[in-house]
């Protein structure tokens, strides 16, 4: 029985027979006889020389593995040249249909990992990886010049290029721009010299290596310290005091204070009645812990006020910070004194964070997504493959793929 049906990618193909063999679906197909131009002499011919059956793996149909049994013909020219007919069903030297290759290439970019995608298409992980390598590089939109505001951060990639990689993102939109193979000063410096001509503001954590690379490559840009990274020094100081003084508590209180350590970091006005009871109990057991908590709250009050007035009145923010320094010095607590030494070294960058309002929050979110991609793939040994996988994931994140 001969009939025509419309299937994606097979619109002009004649399906001569369909059959179900065990758990797979077979379609016997052929193309119409048409004039073909001889590749040797250029003359047109419709003279058929012979036929052969080519088995081609196709996309699933009705959730069954499908195969095309393509009755492929060869034409013969008057000059004696024999050549195969032109077809869009399958490319030369391929055993998978063009539709299968397209769907596989798209899925392997947005799939969970290469192994799961290979199982979905009933092929091997190595085939999925080869499809990804051949398709991903041309699809990636490489950055020629960085924007005026960029954010820099590192993450643990564990690739063949190094234990840590550096991700660079747009500081205003949070869009990932590029991933560097390692976090060395030379690598960051050379990249910024090449593509950072337009950069005016750099948002980063309090890394001296990043700061050195930025200053050497970009001259004198505005460096903005991420708020989370300088605030945590104060919370670390409070935690060090807690760990030191709780050693003198009763065994029960020492263990309970350790388990309830989160109440010291939480905002006072957000504490529940139970948490407030525990906080007051342990603050009364130690004057040093009480003073440390007071300093933490003083810093938090300054920080909340600085976020409101920073863009308008930088001098007021600076006076408040100096007042906090004075309180710490008067307390004589070595943990907090060490913390404010770090704040003093990064004071200009800290003040810039309130003046310009940029943070590293978006890039930290990108790092979390990168770690999920890495974990789903059980790690990526090759840096270039991880880079393409992460950047393409974000570039194609809003697009819906329906092929296959």
Report which secondary-structure segment, H or E, holds 50.
strand 48-61
Tokens 């299937």, residue located: 7
* C-alpha distances in Å from residue 167, one per residue of 133, 151, 307, 391, 392: 21, 8, 27, 10, 14
Look up residue 265 and give its two tokens: 């970091």
Is the pLDDT score of 136 beyond 90? no
pLDDT tens per residue across span 304-347: 999 999 888 989 999 999 999 999 999 999 999 999 999 999 99
pTM: 0.80
What values do phi and psi take at 35, rounded to 5? -70, 135
Percent of the chain at pLDDT exceeding 70: 97
Q: pLDDT at position 265, please? A: 93
Q: What is the mean pLDDT of residues 214-239?
A: 94
Residues 6+ apart with CB under 8 A from 91: 98, 101
Report which secondary-structure segment, H or E, holds 36.
strand 36-37
Q: pLDDT at position 112, please? A: 83
Is the pLDDT score of 139 beyond 90? no
pLDDT band at 76 (very low <50, low <70, confident <90, very high): very high
Average pLDDT, the chain: 91
How far apart are the two ends of the chain, measured CA to CA in Å? Answer: 28
Q: pLDDT at position 104, please? A: 87
Q: Do 373 and 390 meet the contact criterion of CB atoms below 8 Å apart?
A: yes
The CATH superfamily assigned to 149-225+370-395 is Ribonuclease H-like superfamily/Ribonuclease H (3.30.420.10)
Lowest-confidence pick of 129-143, 266-280, 349-363? 129-143
Q: pLDDT at position 1, please? A: 44
* C-alpha distances in Å from residue 207, one per residue of 151, 175, 213: 13, 22, 10
Is the pLDDT score of 403 beyond 50? no
Is the pLDDT score of 82 beyond 60? yes
CB atoms within 10 A of CB 231: 15
Task: List the one residue out of 252, 293, 288, 292 whose CA is nearest residue 276.
Answer: 293
Q: pLDDT at position 404, please? A: 42
* C-alpha distances in Å from residue 198, one per residue of 219, 260, 283, 332, 362: 12, 48, 52, 45, 21
Report helix, strand and coil shares of the chain as percent, to nearest 5: 50, 20, 30
SS3 sequence, 129-196? HHHHHHHHHHHCCCCCCCCCEEEEEEEEEEECCEEEEEEEEECCCCCEEEEECCCCHHHHHHHHHHHC
pLDDT band at 211 (very low <50, low <70, confident <90, very high): very high
Q: pLDDT at position 399, please? A: 60
Look up residue 115 and give its two tokens: 């192994």
* C-alpha distances in Å from residue 403, one per residue of 40, 101, 113, 322: 37, 10, 18, 61
Q: pLDDT at position 9, please? A: 75
Look up residue 95 and give its two tokens: 């055993």
pLDDT tens per residue across span 163-210: 999 999 999 988 999 999 999 999 999 999 999 999 999 999 999 999
pLDDT band at 5 (very low <50, low <70, confident <90, very high): low
In terms of C-beta density within 10 A (0-12 exposed, 13-18 middle, 19 or more buried), how is residue 55 classed?
Answer: exposed
């Amino acid at each position: 029985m001969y009939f025509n049906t419309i299937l994606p990618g097979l619109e002009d193909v004649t399906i001569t027979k369909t059959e179900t063999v065990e758990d797979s679906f077979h379609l016997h197909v052929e193309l119409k006889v048409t004039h073909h131009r001889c590749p040797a002499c250029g003359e047109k011919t419709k003279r058929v020389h012979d036929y052969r059956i080519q088995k081609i793996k196709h996309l699933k149909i009705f959730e069954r593995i499908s195969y095309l049994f393509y009755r492929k013909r060869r034409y013969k020219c008057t000059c004696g040249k024999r050549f195969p007919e032109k077809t869009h069903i399958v490319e030369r030297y391929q055993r998978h249909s063009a539709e299968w290759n397209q769907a596989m290439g798209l899925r392997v970019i947005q799939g969970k990992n290469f192994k799961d995608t290979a199982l979905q298409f009933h092929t091997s992980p190595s085939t999925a990886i080869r499809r990804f390598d051949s398709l991903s590089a041309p699809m990636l939109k490489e950055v020629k010049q960085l924007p005026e505001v960029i954010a820099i951060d590192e993450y643990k990639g564990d690739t063949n290029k190094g234990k840590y990689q550096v991700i660079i993102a747009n500081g205003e939109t949070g869009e990932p721009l590029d991933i560097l193979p390692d976090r060395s000063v030379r690598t960051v410096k050379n990249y910024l010299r090449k593509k950072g001509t337009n950069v005016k503001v750099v948002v980063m954590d309090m890394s001296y290596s990043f700061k050195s690379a930025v200053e050497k490559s970009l001259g004198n840009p505005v460096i903005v310290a991420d708020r989370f990274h300088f605030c945590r020094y104060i919370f670390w100081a409070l935690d060090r005091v807690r760990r030191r003084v709780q050693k003198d508590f009763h065994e029960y209180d020492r263990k309970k204070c350790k388990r309830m350590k989160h109440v010291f970091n939480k905002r006072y006005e957000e504490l529940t009645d139970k948490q407030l009871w525990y906080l007051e109990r342990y603050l009364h057991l130690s004057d040093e812990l009480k003073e440390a908590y007071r300093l933490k709250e003083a810093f938090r009050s300054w920080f909340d006020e600085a976020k409101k007035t920073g863009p308008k009145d930088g001098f007021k923010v600076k006076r408040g910070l100096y007042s906090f320094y004075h309180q710490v010095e008067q307390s004589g607590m070595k943990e907090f004194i060490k913390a404010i030494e770090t704040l003093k070294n990064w004071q200009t960058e800290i003040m810039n964070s309130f003046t310009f309002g940029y943070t590293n929050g978006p890039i930290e979110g990108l790092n979390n997504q990168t770690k999920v991609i890495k974990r789903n793939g059980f790690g990526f040994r090759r840096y270039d493959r991880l880079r393409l996988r992460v950047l393409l994931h974000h570039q194609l994140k809003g697009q819906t793929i329906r092929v296959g």
